[in-house]
Every structure is written in structure tokens, then in C-alpha cells.
Amino acid sequence: MRDDAAGESPTLEESGEFAVIERLVRNRRQPATVTLGPGDDGAVIATTDGRTVVSTDMLVQDRHFRLDWSTPYQVGRKAIAQNAADIEAMGARTTAFVVGFGAPGTTSTAEASALVDGMWDEAERVGAGIAGGDLVSCPQWVVSVTVLGDLQGRAPVLRSGAVPGSVVAVAGELGRSAAGYELLRNGIEEFPELRDRHLVPRPPYGQGAVAAAAGAVAMIDVSDGLISDLRHVAKASGVGIDLSAAALAADFDAVAAATAALGADGWAWVLGGGEDHALAACFTGAVPAGWRVIGRVIDGPARVLVDSREWEGYAGWQSFEG
């Protein structure tokens, strides 16, 4: 076995499953919501509400991330951030994560440690802990995360509550991740901030609960693209949604230099680009601080318009597209 002290990290295969797990969970500090963490057959999570919001998501190497673009630390942060955004979109507070990690036996323990460091750092940004998980051999990296959330006495904010006359607002930023992806794909080293926004998204933590407390009637995490995700809201609610290009001009301007460098359509990034993990919500009353109005809910049929016209450009990601 290679020795870490000699500057080389042993592989997962050389270390063995239980030794690696022990190393990955050693000296981690859990929040009060995790009353029993890793080390037993199951974890115990406290909830003040009596109900638990649960969501799960997977990242597969070369489909959702590339290790020639991302460090293991960045992959870890991304895995946690995108799952926490789903809990935010329900109007809940994230309490804990459970993580499954599959990787080849030749993966170094240093890489696995960096992945887990990224996960813990992002979980701490949310105020949650990693309560447990699993480690398995796999031909490529696969990261599966299940996240738990606490509604704290509030009703969940569903996709199906939008009503005509309400406004559509967003917390967070749009188009940055899509811009970063295209910059990385084309090997352009300019605009490091945009490239980083693809590698590590920045959900507006805490704003889901803010929206719920302010009376949001529908909400969704913008993971696949603004139009694509708002179509889910429109369909579930039986309404139309009309977005304002002028209200999204700041997002378009933020990626304008990158669009010029690539000869790309910035509106396709703003309206169709996913993985920024902004939140979009509908409000019948005042919109809280941290949110900006970008459109309105209109009578059905279920559709999403831009300036009262059908959007014919790229609308968002689908998992089984090529």
C-alpha cells in the first residue's frame, strides 16, 4: 500500500471500503438536526414539523460533470448544491444529506476525500449535515445524493398553485452556468467567473423559506432551464406564463461578453440554460426582498410565452437527449 506521508495517496482498492469510510467521516461536525450520524445501520434526523421533505438526484461522470474540467472538490459542492435547491423550492429548510458514491477501485483516497470535503463545505453553507451513505465499486464516478428538509410548520409550496393575475419572480441568477459550459466546451479560458458558475452553482439559500413565508403559491428550482421548468408550473397549475425580456435584461447583459466571444445567443442561455439553480415562484401579493419580478401568470392553456409570443429557441435540458 502506498503511504500518504510519502506524498502518494493509496487507492480505494488498496485501502478497503471501511477504512475509506472511516477516513471520510472522521472529525466531521454534525448540526443539531442530525442526532445520530454515520456509524450505525441508519442515521437519525430530528424534525420539528413531523413531516420530512425528501428529494434525490444523481451525477454521472461525463454526463453531468467531467473530471478534466472539475476538481473532485467542485463535484462535491455541485452535488450538494443542486439537491439543496430542490428542498428550497418546496419552501423547506435543508436538514441532512445521505450520499452514495461509486468509483473505480483505482480512484485515490485523496480524490475521494476532496469530493467529501466539497460536500461538507457546501452542506455547511446550507446549515445541514451529511448523515450517512454508501461507497461502492463502479466503472466510473457516480454520485447519488438524497436530501431531507423540514417545512417548519409551513405548507409545502407546490408547482400546482399558480393562478392568473399572480406575478412570476426569481431569486438567483440565470444563464451563467450555460455560458460557463459553452466556454469550457470550446476551450475558452476567459471569463473564469462564468466557468466557475457551471462547475459550482450558487442557489439562493434561504430564499425558498422566505418565499413560502411571503405567501408564494407555486415554486420550482430552475435546474433544466427557465422556460422548461416554468412549463412544469404552467402544466401543473393549468395556466399560462408570460415572461418579460426587459425584466431579464440584467441576466442577458451579464453573459453578453461571453456570447460575443462565442458567437452565441445569450437569450438561449438565459431562457433555456439550466444548472444555475435559481428559484422561480409565483406570488399573489407583495414579492419579498431578494426576489425580482420577471413575468405574470395568465389564463391557460398551459404554456410559457416571452413578451406574449411563443419562444421558439432552446428551452432547456432533457435527461435522455443526446
Q: Which domains can be identified in the chain, with CATH numbers?
A: 12-150 (3.30.1330.10), 166-310 (3.90.650.10)
- Distance, in Å, from the CA atom of 230 to the CA atom of 240, rounded to the nearest integer, reads 9
Q: What residue numbers does the annotated binding site for Mg(2+) cover? A: 41, 55-57, 86, 134, 221, 224
Q: Tell me the average pLDDT across 83-99.
A: 97
CB of 69 closer than 8 Å to CB of 75: no
Query: Is residue 246's pLDDT more than 60?
Result: yes
Q: What residue numbers does the annotated binding site for substrate cover? A: 64, 275, 317
Residues forming a β-bridge with 168: 282, 295
Query: Is residue 239's pLDDT more than 60?
Result: yes
pLDDT, averaged across the chain:
92
Q: What residue numbers does the annotated binding site for ATP cover? A: 133-134, 159, 223
Q: What residue numbers does the annotated binding site cover? A: 41, 55-57, 64, 86, 133-134, 159, 221, 223-224, 275, 317
**Per-residue pLDDT reduced to its tens digit, 100-115:** 999 999 999 999 999 9
| Peptide bond between residue 31 and the one before it cis (omega within 30 degrees of 0) | no
| Peptide bond between residue 301 and the one before it cis (omega within 30 degrees of 0) | yes
Q: Tell me the average pLDDT across 192-206.
A: 97
Q: What is the pTM (predicted TM-score) of this model?
A: 0.90
Confidence of residue 24 (pLDDT cuts 50, 70, 90): low
pLDDT of residue 315: 62
pLDDT of residue 7: 47
Query: Is residue 320's pLDDT more than 60?
Result: no
CB of 180 closer than 8 Å to CB of 196: yes
Query: Is residue 23's pLDDT more than 80?
Result: no
- Distance, in Å, from the CA atom of 144 to the CA atom of 146, rounded to the nearest integer, reads 7
Q: Tell me the average pLDDT across 292-300.
A: 97
Confidence of residue 18 (pLDDT cuts 50, 70, 90): low
Please give the span between the terminal C-alpha atoms of the chain, in angstroms, as a whole number.
41
Cα radius of gyration rounded to whole Å, the chain: 21
Q: Tell me the average pLDDT across 42-66.
A: 92
- Distance, in Å, from the CA atom of 81 to the CA atom of 277, rounded to the nearest integer, reads 8
Query: Is residue 322's pLDDT more than 60?
Result: no
CB of 282 closer than 8 Å to CB of 168: yes
**Per-residue pLDDT reduced to its tens digit, 261-295:** 999 999 999 999 989 999 999 999 999 999 999 99
- Distance, in Å, from the CA atom of 61 to the CA atom of 84, rounded to the nearest integer, reads 20
Q: Which residues make Cβ contacts (< 8 Å) with residue 116, sequence separation at least 6?
A: 24, 76, 99, 130
Confidence of residue 316 (pLDDT cuts 50, 70, 90): low
- Distance, in Å, from the CA atom of 142 to the CA atom of 101, rounded to the nearest integer, reads 6
- Distance, in Å, from the CA atom of 137 to the CA atom of 57, rounded to the nearest integer, reads 19
Query: Is residue 2's pLDDT more than 80?
Result: no
**Per-residue pLDDT reduced to its tens digit, 247-266:** 999 999 999 999 999 999 99
pLDDT more than 70, % of the chain = 93
- Say which range, 3-7, 146-150, 203-207, 224-228, has the weakest mean pLDDT: 3-7
